[in-house]
Chains A and B, each alone.
Chain A
Amino acid sequence: MAEEVPKIKIMKGATADLSAATFQIHDESHTIGNALRWMLMKNPKVEFCGYSVPHPSENTIQVRIQMYDKLSSLAALIQALSDLDDLCVAVGDAYDTSLKTDSYERWVEQS
């Protein structure tokens, strides 16, 4: 058995207070990377946020976060993850409501 890869780790070069750090997230792609970057950039305490897929055949993304006021980038990351979760719930609810209550065209597709 291969060694267990951590889902998320802090890469070399982070500041001691984690106000600026690069996180490596295993087994994720642009799907989560771009959405997470967007949500982090929505945080006014985030000075900079960017993500990259370092190599197409390596199954990881790297998310760089730099904070104002020496705040923790890890806390901002956790906050962004839970905000994204709220967003998903909101979109799902709006979709379910539309599907149930809106009037829309129904048609039969021939194959």
Chain B
Amino acid sequence: MLSLDDPRRHVHVRAERVSAVSSTDYPGHYPDEDHSWNLAQFKDRMSVKVQRLSQKSIDFDLVCVDASIANAFRRIIIAEVPTVCFEFVYVFNNTSVVVDEILAQRIGLVPLNVDPDVMLRRTDPSDQPTDRNTLVFKLKVACEHNPAAPKGATAPSQLYINHEVLSGHLQWEPVGEQESVFENNPPRPTNPNIVLTKLRPGQAVEMDLHAVKSVGKDHAKYSPVATASYRLLPHIILNPEKPIPPHLAEKFQKCFSPGVIRVDPVTKAVSIDPVGVRNDSVSREVLRHPEFEGRVELKRIRDFFLFNIESEGPYAPEQLLPEAIKVMREKLDTIRKAAEALLADTQAMDVDMTMS
């Protein structure tokens, strides 16, 4: 059942169309087969395997779950895992070339290192800012001539002091109990080198900035990831009846991404690299050549998801899936409580009707 060669798991990639896209593992689809929800069986078959981890990104496989589940996790990571970003900008002075609203928008996009768990959300627009739901930053930069500039220098970095306003210039101003809450990890941008605007002598920027907690579906700046995406595992089937002729082996190899096809140096026999095949682009180039017709089939495994998540913000990349699962469970819990209340209501109504 769980072999990659199981035709039920295959999405067919043909020259001009893709077929067998929908999953069929529902009760009633195949006669005399069960397919109803079975947690023990699901736990047995499903697997998650981390493949690659850096300080900013993670690659992992999620196998034997339906696309609706994998997609739910992906969507939640992008749009519903909360982060903290600048939302309110109070401009006291801005004589730079970038106008206030554009500069405010750019500042809003700067990712901060603040753990959203320690902050409350301002859900209602009338909510007052407090030390629990708002972080205050100051931006005060003025550009001037550098008196120590070497003679004949032309670079702005040598001629002027503060010729660029950088994300590193954003200074956090602790309020109330924040000093102790953020003692170990003071709020600051994750990257101090983002250029917000450029200045020339005499120009200055002075602003107060309020950062609040929200989610990506509110504004894309709150999304904790640069990308969160998945692909289906490519699967290439060679026809044993019609092998690739030795003189075409190298041409066949070039139809795929590098590292996907192995060619035996002596016999010129062609085989698929089980690790390299993960990186195939499934370009369908091989299907354009009549000499390969009937010799190869391209598939993808419908329930084999290769996730790639790039974190950009306060979360370590390996924290993002657990956060998404947490958000998903909160959502399910809210709906279930509401549904149970609705069930109690309808039952109470039934009792009323029988009484009267």
Contacts and interface: CB of A to CB of B under 8 A. Distances in A.
B62 A91 contact: yes
Contacts of B325: 88-89, 91-92, 95
B49 interface: yes
Contacts of B60: 95, 98
A111 B72 contact: no
B342 interface: yes
Contact of A18 (B48, B62, B346): B346
Interface stretch (B37-45, B239-247, B259-267): B37-45
Interface string A64-98: 00000000101101100111111111111011111
B120 interface: no
Interface stretch (B50-58, B138-146, B204-212, B249-257): B50-58
A31 B328 CA distance: 9
Contacts of A86: 39
A81 B342 contact: no
Contacts of B329: 85, 88-89
Contact of B335 (A39, A81, A91): A81
Given A85-B333, A88-B328, A98 B80 contact: no
Given A43-B37, A92-B322, A78 B50 contact: no
B201 interface: no
B36 A44 contact: yes
Contacts, number: 151
B69 A111 contact: no
A91 B191 contact: no
A34 B26 CA distance: 14
A95 B326 CA distance: 13
Contacts of B43: 90, 94
Contacts of A31: 71-72, 75-76, 79-80, 328, 331
A18 B66 CA distance: 28
A25 interface: yes
A35 B342 contact: no
Which range contains the number of A residues in contact with the other chain? Answer: 35 or more
Interface in B160-219: 191, 217
B352 interface: no
Contacts of B34: 44
B338 interface: yes
Given A31-B80, A95-B60, A8 B46 contact: no
Nearest to B342: A8
A58 B17 CA distance: 34
Interface of A: 6-10, 18, 23, 25, 28-32, 34-35, 37-39, 41-44, 72, 74-75, 77-78, 81-92, 94-99, 102, 104-109, 111
Interface of B: 26-28, 34-37, 39, 42-43, 46-57, 60, 62, 65-66, 68-69, 71-73, 75-76, 79-80, 191, 217, 318, 321-322, 325, 328-329, 331-336, 338-340, 342-343, 346
**Which 9 residue pairs are nearest across A and B when measured between Cβ atoms?**
A7-B338, A44-B27, A42-B37, A34-B68, A109-B54, A38-B68, A94-B48, A81-B336, A92-B325
18 contacts: A28-B331, A29-B75, A32-B72, A39-B37, A43-B27, A43-B36, A44-B28, A74-B346, A75-B343, A84-B332, A91-B48, A92-B325, A96-B322, A97-B48, A104-B51, A107-B53, A109-B54, A109-B55
Given A8-B335, A91-B69, A95-B60, 18 more contacts: A18-B346, A25-B335, A32-B335, A34-B71, A42-B26, A75-B343, A81-B335, A81-B339, A86-B39, A87-B65, A88-B329, A90-B42, A91-B48, A95-B50, A98-B47, A98-B48, A104-B50, A108-B54
